[in-house]
Amino acid sequence: MTFIRYKTFGKQEYAYQIKSYWDSKTQKPKQKTLYLGVVVDKSKKIFEKRLSLPKQEKLILDFGDSYFIKEFFEKVKFSKLIEEVFGDKKDFFLSLINYRLCYPSAMRFSKTWFEGNYAKICYPNTDLSSQRISDFLKFLGDENLQRKFFKQYIPGYAESNEGIIIDATSLPNQIHMPITQWGLSGEEIDKQIRFLLVVDKKNSMPLFFRYFSGNIVDVSTLKNTIKELQKFGIKENYVYMDAGFFSEDNILELYNQEINFLTRLPSIRTIYKELIISEAKNIERYENVVQYGKRALFIKQKRMNLFGKEAFAYIILDPERKGRETKNFLLQNIKNKENSIEELEYGMMKKGIMILVSSFNLKNENVVPAYYVRQTAEKLFGFSKDDLSLLPLRIHNEESLRGFLFMQFVTLIAFVHIKNKLGKEHNVEEILLKLRNLKCKVYDDEIIICEPNKQQKEILEKLDILMPKKLGI
C-alpha cells in the first residue's frame, strides 16, 4: 500500500510518499519513506524539490534527541496535557522536561545545553537563566496548579484494575526549612525529606506523589494517600506496599475500605517471631518448593489472625541466602557469651526467611512475583535519584521544593511513556544519547538534518517517528 503523508514544519508543508511492505527477514510490516518536496498544490498533488545556492549555516545543533521527544510527546498527547494545564508556560515546562531527560545534570547547566540543542528552536521564547528557572519552580509549586494537573492526568492514564504500588524513599539534603528533619535512611540517620510514589501496577505509570517531613514514618501516611487518590477517581482493588507501611491502623483501614493488600511483615513484630518459631523448622519440605526465576524457594502458607481480621501469611525461605547469612552469623557469634542459646538459635532460624502477609489467598507460586512488582517503584526511585540528579537537593524554600519535586514527577511520567514504548530490550538513556549525535544545520530560513546512521534509523523506525530531511523556520 502506498500513500502520501503531509507534515508541517514552520511555515512550510512537506510531502512524503509512504510505501508499506512486508519484511521477510523480520517477519514484520515496515515502511519506506520518499521525500516528494514542498507542497505547491495539495489537491493536485504538485510538489517542488527546491534547489538553492549553497548557504552558510548559522550554527550546528544536537537534534535527534529533542526532535524525537517533541514528536513522541505529540503522538501520546503528552504535549496536549501540558498545554491544557500550564497554558502559555507550556514551552518552558516542556524544555525543562526535555533537559532532564536528555541531559540529567544540575539545573545550572540547562542554559548551556539549551543553546546547543534543537530545543532552542522548538521552544524559542524560553529563557533558562537561573532566575527564570527559580521563578518557574515557584510557579510549579502552587498546590492548586498541581491538583489541576492530577485531575486531568490520572483519569486518562490510570489502569488500576490490577492494583497500585505504594512506596516511599528518603531524600537526604541540607535544606534549611522545617520540612527537612532528621530521619532514618537505610541504616544511617540523615537530615531528609520523605518522598512517596504511587505507581499503576499494570502499566508502571507513576500516578501520584507526596512528600513529607523526614521525621514522619511511612505508617502514618498511607491513609491520607488513599484519601487523596480517591479524590482523583482512583478506586484501588489491590495495594502492594513495603514493610514501612505495616501498622494496625493502616491494615484495619485497608480492611474497612475493602482494599486487598500484600505487604512484608516487619521482623520486629511479635507475630513475626511466632511464625518463625512455629513454621521455620518444617518449611524445607519438597511439597513447599516453588521456582522463582533461576532460584528454588520454599514457601509455606498459614492462615492467621491479623488485628482481628482473617489474613494469610507466607513464610518464604531462600536456601541460597540462608547459607550466606547463616555462615556470617555463626562467624560473628561463635564466641558470643552475652546472648542466650535460645536467642542465638532464633537468630539462626530466621536467616534467609521473609514473611509476607495478605488479605487474600494466593497460590504459593504467585506470591513472590506479586510482591516483587514493588521493584517497579524502586527502579523509578533509582531513576529519579540517579539519572535525573535529584540529589543533593539545592532548593531553599518549600514552594520551590514542591515545584522541583513536581517537575521530577512529570519527567518521570515522560520517561515511563518512552520506556513502555521501547520495551525491555532498550535503555531509554542509551537511546537518547545515540539520537543526540544526530545533528542539524541551521540556516536563515530552514534547518537541514544530517543523514541518520543505521542505529538511529532503526530507533526511529521502531518508534514510528518520521525523520524529515529539512525543516522550515
- pTM of this structure: 0.77
At 142 the pLDDT is 93
Domain of residue 237, CATH code: 3.90.350.10
Q: What is the DSSP string of 30-76?
A: EEEEEEEEEEEETTTTEEE---------SEEEE-HHHHHHHHHHHHT
**Total structural domains within the chain:** 1
Residue 177 DSSP symbol: S
Nearest to 118 by CA among 441, 461, 459: 441
- The reply to whether 234 falls in a domain is yes
* Bridging pattern class, strands 238-241 and 260-264: parallel
- The reply to whether 218 falls in a domain is yes
At 184 the pLDDT is 43
**CA dist., res. 68 & res. 70, Å (int):** 5
Nearest to 130 by CA among 105, 109, 100: 109
Buried b (16+ CB within 10 A) or exposed e, 432-451: bebbbebebbbeeebbbbee
pLDDT of the chain, 473 residues: tens digit per residue:
788 988 887 677 888 898 888 888 777 888 888 888 888 888 888 888 765 545 666 789 999 999 999 999 998 899 999 999 999 999 999 999 999 888 877 778 889 999 999 999 999 889 998 889 889 999 999 999 999 999 999 887 777 667 888 888 777 554 545 445 444 444 444 456 778 888 888 888 889 988 876 555 556 678 888 888 888 888 778 899 888 889 999 999 999 989 999 999 999 999 999 999 999 989 999 999 999 988 999 999 999 999 999 999 999 999 999 999 999 999 999 888 788 889 999 999 999 999 999 999 999 999 988 887 767 666 666 655 554 455 444 566 778 888 988 998 998 899 888 888 888 778 888 899 999 999 999 988 889 999 999 999 888 888 888 888 888 77
At 108 the pLDDT is 81
Q: Which helix (H) or strand (E) holds 90?
A: helix 90-102
- The reply to whether 260 falls in a domain is yes
At 378 the pLDDT is 64
Nearest to 457 by CA among 30, 42, 155: 30
- Judge contact between 32 and 40, C-beta under 8 A: no
| Grid cell for residue 402 | 514542591
| Grid cell for residue 61 | 545543533
- The reply to whether 412 falls in a domain is no
**CA dist., res. 67 & res. 72, Å (int):** 8
- In DSSP terms, 2 is beta-bridged to 19
Instruction: Give, in degrees to the nearest 5, the angle at Cα 104 between 92 and 379.
Output: 115
* Bridging pattern class, strands 439-442 and 446-449: antiparallel
Give the number of other CB atoms < 10 A from CB of residue 406: 20
**CA dist., res. 220 & res. 239, Å (int):** 16
- The reply to whether 466 falls in a domain is no
- The reply to whether 468 falls in a domain is no
Q: Which residue range(s) make up the domain with 236?
A: 144-394
Torsion of CA 34, 436, 381, 384, to 10 degrees: -120
Residue 185 amino acid letter: S
The SS3 of residue 463 is: coil
- Residue 15 class from Cβ within 10 Å (0-12 exposed, 13-18 middle, 19+ buried)? buried
- Judge contact between 212 and 436, C-beta under 8 A: no
At 174 the pLDDT is 46
- Distances from the Cα of 468 to the Cα of 9, 58, 447, 463, angstroms: 9, 20, 10, 15
Nearest to 102 by CA among 68, 78, 135: 68
- Residue 278 class from Cβ within 10 Å (0-12 exposed, 13-18 middle, 19+ buried)? exposed
- The reply to whether 419 falls in a domain is no
- The reply to whether 111 falls in a domain is no
**CA dist., res. 93 & res. 85, Å (int):** 11
Phi-psi map region of 352: left, alpha, beta (phi>0 left; psi -120 to 50 alpha): left
